[in-house]
Amino acid sequence: MSEQSFFELIRDAAQWHLAALLLLPPSASRKCEIQSLLREIQDPALFRIAENWCSDPTTEEYFRIVYPGGQVSLRAVSYLPLVSPGEMLATLEELYDRMGYRNSTEEPPDHLAVLADFYAFLSLRAAYMVANQRQNEFLSFIHLRDDLAVHYLLPVLSSLVEKLQNHQTSSLRATVEWMRDVLHPSACHNLSPPSQVSD
pLDDT tens-digit profile of 18-38? 999 999 988 889 999 999 999
d(CA 100, CA 140): 14
Instruction: Check residue 198 and give its pLDDT.
Output: 36
Which residue intervals of the chain are DSSP H helices? Answer: 3-22, 28-37, 44-55, 59-65, 85-99, 112-131, 135-148, 154-163, 171-182
69: alpha, beta or left? (left if phi > 0; alpha if psi -120 to 50): left
Instruction: Check residue 192 and give its pLDDT.
Output: 32
pLDDT tens-digit profile of 183-195? 985 544 433 333 3
pLDDT over threshold 60, residue 199: no
What is the Cα gyration radius of the chain?
A: 16
Amino acid (1-letter code) at residue 133:
Q
Instruction: Check residue 185 and give its pLDDT.
Output: 58
Mean of all residue pLDDT scores within the chain: 86
- Work out the average pLDDT over 55-68: 78
pLDDT tens-digit profile of 75-125? 999 898 888 899 999 999 999 999 999 999 999 999 999 999 999 999 999
- Work out the average pLDDT over 43-71: 84
> 54 or 170, which is more confident?
54
- Work out the average pLDDT over 136-144: 91
Q: What is the pTM of this model?
A: 0.87
Task: Report percent pLDDT > 90 for the chain.
Answer: 56
Instruction: Check residue 191 and give its pLDDT.
Output: 32
pLDDT tens-digit profile of 91-100? 999 999 999 9
